[in-house]
A and B are shown apart, each in its own frame.
Chain A
Amino acid sequence: MKGQPIIWQRIRWQRIRWQHLGALLPLVLLGMAERAIAHGVVLEYNATQAYEVTAAYDTGTPMAEAQVAVFSPDNPSEPWMTGTTDAEGRFLFTPPSPGNWEVQVRQAGHGDLVVIAVEGEAIAAAPTAESGSPSTEATDTTDTPGVDTETAMESPATTLTPGESSNSGSSSPSITGLQRGLMAGSVVWGFVGTALFFSQRNPTTKR
């Protein structure tokens, strides 16, 4: 006699719970359709066209941890993005639209500016891939070894965009050690010639 109300109570509670669950069910299904409403993490990856800027001093030492500012073609005064180079002086960015993108690299009052002419075709949507196995790699790039110019950039050869002409450039012309030596030598010879000219022309000179 005494137990009956308790049983009824339990049944009532269970009903209430089921009613609640029933109300939640569409939400749960919706959540599954939207993939992640709460704690589930889904990683997707796309292959895109990225530009790699390699910054090095003219001695060949990479500019590690140097600050980089990227200016979009539309707004040359406010940086579109900022960042720092890695230990090898490399910095990677993906311009979303064609135009002349300016990349400024700066460290301790030294630095340079390079203008990257991004063509329309280079930005054409690369095929996107979605996979069950998540990957944190956003871009697919190849390394660019042996860059000895002050600031050089190299476009990566993405595997999903075959036949793309890889364009690269530099903020300063790359000259070999021999050319450098010749240039320095000719300038020095100019100075020595000036010295010789003035010392001969003027016999009262002290030299």
Chain B
Amino acid sequence: MHIPDGLLPPQVCVGGYAITGLATWYSLRQINRREDPSAEVPKAALMTAAFFLASSIHIPIPPASVHLVLNGLLGVVLGYFAFPAILIGLFFQAIMFQHGGLTTLGVNAAMMGGAALLASFIYSLHPIAKKWLGDRWTILSFAFVGGATGLCFSVLIFLGLVITQIPAGFNAEAERAAIYGLAIAHLPIILLEGFFTAAIMLFFYRVKPELLPD
């Protein structure tokens, strides 16, 4: 999922940084408008740690081994905090494990953080369904959809990016087939992250409901 250094042309990397800069500024501004902007920092810091570690949990599905991303979970649990959290998590992944890269940090953050903001938006719609489903099932279903959509959306952006940016000299057909294979390998992970997000939210609902985002 993490695009490494050297695979994308410089224009795309710069574009990624531009989008990431804008999204970070917007997220921080939204956070700053709150009554107590630092109230959610402990939760965000712990979720960043979870995000940082998630990429080390590999699940071998050919052709590549895929790993948990948890960007949907961060979006659902943290809301606007998700974007800076993912940016920081990706930065540490890049410098510690060469997972991703510093030139592609912007692209990766836009890919995963943007999808996390979408997941956060999906979850924020959950009060609509409360009347019919009840608290518990509403949270469960919206958390599942949010968590799954977060990863699904970033896989789609990843697909679009790497398929359009296959450099000359490589066999585009074979590379495309491998990319589609990788996308299909992500389907079980998308479901798994959906369930995982739902489980975490259910845990919060039962144990500490005040941790749930509004």
A160 — which chain B residues lie within 8 A by C-beta? none
Alpha-carbon distance A50/B5, docked complex (angstroms): 26
Q: Is the CB of B169 within 8 A of A187?
A: no
Q: Is the CB of B36 within 8 A of A106?
A: no
Q: Is the CB of B42 within 8 A of A198?
A: yes
Query: Which of B46, B60, B174 makes the CB contact (< 8 A) with A67?
Result: B174
Q: A110-B64, A206-B39 are in contact. Are A184 and B169 (CB under 8 A)?
A: no
Q: How large is the interface on B (under 10, 10 to 19, 20 to 34, 35 or more residues)?
A: 35 or more
B97 — which chain A residues lie within 8 A by C-beta? 58, 180, 183
B92 — which chain A residues lie within 8 A by C-beta? 187
Alpha-carbon distance A93/B99, docked complex (angstroms): 27
B43 — which chain A residues lie within 8 A by C-beta? 195, 206-207
Q: Mark B39-66, 1 if CB is under 8 A from A, else 0.
A: 1111101101100110010101001110
A9 contacts chain B at the CB level, 8 A cutoff: no
Alpha-carbon distance A59/B99, docked complex (angstroms): 12
B135 contacts chain A at the CB level, 8 A cutoff: no
Q: Mark B125-155, 1 if CB is under 8 A from A, else 0.
A: 0000000000000000000000000000000
Q: Mark A54-78, 1 if CB is under 8 A from B, else 0.
A: 0001110100010101000000001
- State which of B20-28, B112-120, B177-185, B193-201 sits at the interface with chain A: B177-185
A67 — which chain B residues lie within 8 A by C-beta? 170-171, 174-175
Q: Is the CB of B96 within 8 A of A192?
A: no
Q: A67-B175, A188-B49 are in contact. Are A207 and B42 (CB under 8 A)?
A: yes
A107 contacts chain B at the CB level, 8 A cutoff: yes
Interface residues of B (CB under 8 A from A): 3-7, 36, 38-43, 45-46, 48-49, 52-53, 56, 58, 60, 63-65, 92, 96-99, 158, 161-162, 167-171, 174-175, 178-179, 181-182, 210-211
Beyond known contacts A104-B6, A188-B52, A205-B42: 15 more, CB 8 A cutoff: A65-B63, A82-B170, A108-B63, A108-B175, A109-B158, A109-B182, A113-B5, A150-B98, A172-B98, A184-B53, A191-B45, A191-B52, A195-B45, A206-B43, A206-B211
